[in-house]
Structure 1
Amino acid sequence: MKGLRPVGILGTGSYTPERVLSNFDLEKMVDTSDEWIVSRTGIRERRISAPEQASSDLAFEAAKKALAKANVSAEQLDMIIVATVTPDMSFPSTACLLQDKLGAKKAGAMDLSAACTGFLYGITTAAQFIANGLYKHVLVVGVETLSKITNYKDRNTCVLFGDGAGAAVLGPVKEGYGFQSFELGADGSGGQLLCLPAGGSRIPASTESVANDLHYLSMAGGEVFKFAVRVMNSATEAVLAKAGLERDEIDLLVPHQANKRIIDSAVQRFGLSEDKVVVNLDRYGNMSSASIPVALDEAVAEGRVKEGDNLVFVGFGGGLTWGAALLKWSTTPAEGSNA
């Protein structure tokens, strides 16, 4: 971000629903087993939102915590970006609903759809608003209620996904810190490999679409796995190169939490020790756009992130999309930026 105002993360927050769905619970619902799920994914349990909970409700809880940690009020927000593929409704945006819940009356608001890469697309977008001086404070939330679109009769997908929300408040930070580089990518030719077939203009909701289970997410697991391993590595290499850093200068890798084997492949490639990688998918499963911000918030809370650390965020998802960001950590605002 040379020549532009330094932008960092001033505060983080996260929220996961109370209900826990374990692998042993799933054994009673579909033909699967705890051993099968753990050996192939690393997942042991996931959180499930209550029937009355929508994505904006989860986002609200995470956002409140992030604002408090950043010492930024809702009235100080200039923009709210919500990354999600499970909005409360097609429109208005979940970001507008969140704006109202927070009382952020001065903030613009929009949703962003990039599936599991959504939070990375969100922070990249937010950082540009701040770096060029247009805005000072932008709230980015990754939130999903994937349980609402998961078919619990499909053993290949129902074991993977969970619900949650993670939030970050971005703002100006002191010189030499903040985001150093970004990498975003997409390959729409693979769009059908991970998608929600019905509910849009291509296949509007109908009795037939519901009967054919077209309102549940669909995934070609093997193809997505191969894609994920490839882009996890290439996107990480790209942000390191753009920032002029070497692999051994990564202090903490915060990857999308989709599959332990995918994360392990990246760890092996970059020669990272376990203490330099955040992994929480065993407790939450794949929370799509919420996975990276929730993992980051937990790492911060556990004291795993220190001033000046080089953090790499990397993810992939439906679209197909991928992305990465490199952040030199500091939550100290630039002088006068909290006005």
Structure 2
Amino acid sequence: MPTGIRDFGSYLPGPPVPATFFFTEAELASPIASNPLFKTPTTRHHVRDERAAEMIAAAAGPMFARLGIEPAGAVDLLITNVMLPDHPITGSGAEASQLLGCSPQWITDLHNGGCASFGYMLKIVDTMITAGAVRTALLCNVQNGAGQFFSQPKVRKSPYASVAGDGCGVAYVSATDGAPLLGASVLHAPEYARDLGLTGTRKYWEPGTEELMVSFPHEKLGDIIARGNRLVPEAVTDVCKQIGVATEDIDVLITNQPNKMFLQNWRRALGVPEERHLDSYEEFGNLYTAGVPVTFERALRSGAVTDGDLVVVAGFAHAGDMASAAAIRWRG
């Protein structure tokens, strides 16, 4: 039996944060604020005091209750991808397991997947289920950098800062039931891993008052944009070839939500109409690693994804060192 997705859960911290948290009304009308690459979403959510593991528990608890499942004994593998791990050494997986009351055989903090991590997780889980190593898994994606990182007094005036939002998306995967995973594709380009870094003169663990910020080398920005435009269509096309369908046959496309420009370029390259490419950017901003599962969960609750739909999820990470895609025949 193919690997199946049973359900999704999501959690968004705090009340919505308006665009005026970052810019005045006059600044929002400026050319940079309306640039498709940096267009400020209407709202987003910010982490304040929550730990990543608490966000996972808040997203997964209601999902398990809805499924009528007690987490204890129901999770063989727990995988997390957290933008800013609360503990830089131990990660968040063990703490999340403790809060949920489950005892996985495997706990993996997958730090390198970024915005491509959900498809990457699906491929890992499918490989382990096919090998008979696990039968169930909980996939956890947490974006917690907007309230803790991009809200710093100086950083928040950067055009990059206003696009970010916080949230958590989870998915419960099973070897015996759920919407079948039809195929998955992961593309690695490790030569680009160092094209994303932190501004500043000190190392992030060194003491100091200088605000650090995620940055791309200015001279490489054009190449990074071209890479982003190319990678998601490549990953989606690859997974569609695996399952013998054309990209135009996708019923629902769910990608990470970096900005309006990428969303438009991806669907045009794939021949997917705008109404079939789900867009949560205006409401939640760029949720980074959590963008795909949160958008998927909200689409299920709103009826935008229905039984029988061919759903393809995809994303690219960082400055383009990874991309992933996965195809699912929804049944739920």
TM-score range, shorter chain: 0.7 to 0.9
Q: How high is the TM-score relative to the length of structure 2?
A: 0.88
Cα distance in 2 between the residues matched to 1:307 and 1:108: 31
The amino acid across from 1:157 in the alignment is Y
1:226 aligns with 2:223: no
> 2:32, 2:159 within 8 Å by CA — same for their partners in 1?
no
CA-CA distance at 1:30 after TM superposition: 11
> 2:236, 2:247 within 8 Å by CA — same for their partners in 1?
no
Question: After superposition, what is the alpha-carbon deviation per residue over 1:201-223, rounded to whole angstroms, capped at 9, x for unaligned?
Answer: x9352235x53x3x432235544
> 1:19, 1:49 within 8 Å by CA — same for their partners in 2?
no
Aligned positions of 1:282-301 closer than 5 A: 282-301=282-301
Question: After superposition, what is the alpha-carbon deviation per residue over 1:149-196, rounded to whole angstroms, capped at 9, x for unaligned?
Answer: 225345131122111000000012569x61111111222222233234
> 1:27, 1:34 within 8 Å by CA — same for their partners in 2?
no
Q: What is the SS of the residue equivalent to 2:16?
A: strand
CA RMSD of aligned residues (A): 2.5
Match in the other structure for 1:88: 86
1:188 aligns with 2:190: yes
Match in the other structure for 2:143: 144
Match in the other structure for 1:179: 181
Match in the other structure for 2:327: 326
> 2:187, 2:323 within 8 Å by CA — same for their partners in 1?
yes
Cα distance in 2 between the residues matched to 1:35 and 1:16: 30
Between the two proteins, what is the percent identity of the paired residues?
20
Question: After superposition, what is the alpha-carbon deviation per residue over 1:84-110, rounded to whole angstroms, capped at 9, x for unaligned?
Answer: 221111122201110000000244312
Q: What is the SS of the residue equivalent to 2:159?
A: helix
Structure 2 gap segments, 5+ residues each: none
Cα distance in 1 between the residues matched to 2:92 and 2:177: 32
> 1:38, 1:44 within 8 Å by CA — same for their partners in 2?
no
Cα distance in 2 between the residues matched to 1:14 and 1:318: 23
Among 51, 56, 61, which residue is 2:53 paired with? 56
1:164 aligns with 2:172: no
Aligned length: 320
Cα distance in 2 between the residues matched to 1:301 and 1:83: 24
Aligned positions of 1:232-243 closer than 5 A: 232-243=232-243
Q: 1:139 to 1:186 in 2, by over 3 A?
A: same
> 1:115, 1:317 within 8 Å by CA — same for their partners in 2?
yes
The amino acid across from 2:97 in the alignment is Q
Q: 1:183 to 1:262 in 2, by over 3 A?
A: same
Cα distance in 2 between the residues matched to 1:45 and 1:9: 29
Match in the other structure for 1:308: 308
CA-CA distance at 1:268 after TM superposition: 1.6
The amino acid across from 1:325 in the alignment is A
Match in the other structure for 1:110: 108
The amino acid across from 2:55 in the alignment is L
Cα distance in 1 between the residues matched to 2:216 and 2:63: 32
1:24 aligns with 2:26: no
